[in-house]
Amino acid sequence: MHAWLVLALALAVVGLFDLAAGGRSGRGMLTAGLLISLLSKPVLLFALPMLFLIRQTRKASLIAIVVYALVSLACVLISPLNPESVGFKREIALFFDPAYVREYMNFYNNRFVLTPEMKDNVIHWLNLVAQSDFYWDHVQIFSLSAFLNGIVGVNLPAVAYKLPLLVALLTSLCVPLVRDDAKQMTAAMWSVVLLSLSFFLSYNTVWEYQFTAIIPVLLGVVLWDQGMEKGAARWLVALGALIALPSLYFLFGEKITVGEFAWMRSTRVLPTCALYLMVVYKLWHDCLWPSFVARRAAAAV
């Protein structure tokens, strides 16, 4: 499953770069990346509003949505593809009962035991609800919430961890306002990177191995964005290398203290936070703000 996510992110980033350069294969790569993400782990779900608003990516996003919808409906409505179905009426009822979904359909809360409803293919969508505010202090979970909650000793308000996603989503909705097509595609690429990084900061159940998905994204932007300053590229590579280093498990014994937990998680969480802030700065400084200034100057003439 994780390998598909890595492929999806890489295809989406490279596809947008190809579109920015005027290439012909970018739409196909973007469509494939979106579809693979939707069918595996929907990290790119929040990029769809921006991509649908942009003329050059509208067709690619629409194709991905239509194909995904058809495949999903087939996997729910066709009995051989959904042999553990609990029935159409019950499936619809689950969508209107988020409290029940959070209470009884969380894979981790159920101690890895699948209920009949969790064996139905609708769990593919309901997982987003079931695990939305779930927090688990597991040794292999390296999310921002696990890092900060572990340090302070209490669970901070869940809404605080949604701020990186909210900032990334609102920023992405500014990208369609960029007039120049090449700059708009470059901004869209950086916005996809930002939305991808927000997954590691806003989602609670981020396993350590999932951070490997950041590496191909960073390599893509460093290799393809010819206008990037060398200093910024070096920082991106350095932070990516830090994330790729082995974790610090080997330094500690079987009984790990709170402080040791924090040290281990810091090698993934802190570089990701730094990457997130760098991408926010680059997106606004190089792409969005200059475009807004140019629009204002043109309007004033």
What is the percent of the chain with per-residue pLDDT over 90, rounded to a whole number?
30
Residue 300 above 80 pLDDT?
Answer: no
pTM: predicted TM-score of the whole model, two decimal places? 0.88
Mean pLDDT, range 9-17, rounded to an integer: 89
Q: Which of 216, 170, 227, 160 is nearest to 193 (CA)?
A: 216
Q: How confident is the model at residue 167 (pLDDT cuts 50, 70, 90)?
A: very high
What mean pLDDT is reported for the chain?
Answer: 85
Looking at per-residue pLDDT, the higher value among 47 and 291 belongs to 47
pLDDT, tens digit, 9 for 90 and up, residues 204-262: 888 888 888 887 777 666 665 656 667 777 788 788 888 888 877 777 766 777 777 78
Domain count, the chain: 1
Q: How confident is the model at residue 301 (pLDDT cuts 50, 70, 90)?
A: low
pLDDT of residue 240: 81
Q: How far apart are CA 85 and CA 211, in angstroms?
A: 33
* Domain boundaries, position 30: 2-300
Question: Which tokens is 167 given?
Answer: 């900032």
The rounded radius of gyration (Å) of the Cα atoms in the chain is: 21
Q: How confident is the model at residue 59 (pLDDT cuts 50, 70, 90)?
A: very high
Q: How far apart are CA 160 and CA 57, in angstroms?
A: 31
Q: How confident is the model at residue 46 (pLDDT cuts 50, 70, 90)?
A: very high
pLDDT, tens digit, 9 for 90 and up, residues 86-134: 888 888 888 888 888 888 888 777 777 888 888 888 888 887 777 777 7
pLDDT of residue 222: 63
Looking at per-residue pLDDT, the higher value among 168 and 3 belongs to 168
Q: How far apart are CA 9 and CA 232, in angstroms?
A: 21
Looking at per-residue pLDDT, the higher value among 153 and 34 belongs to 34
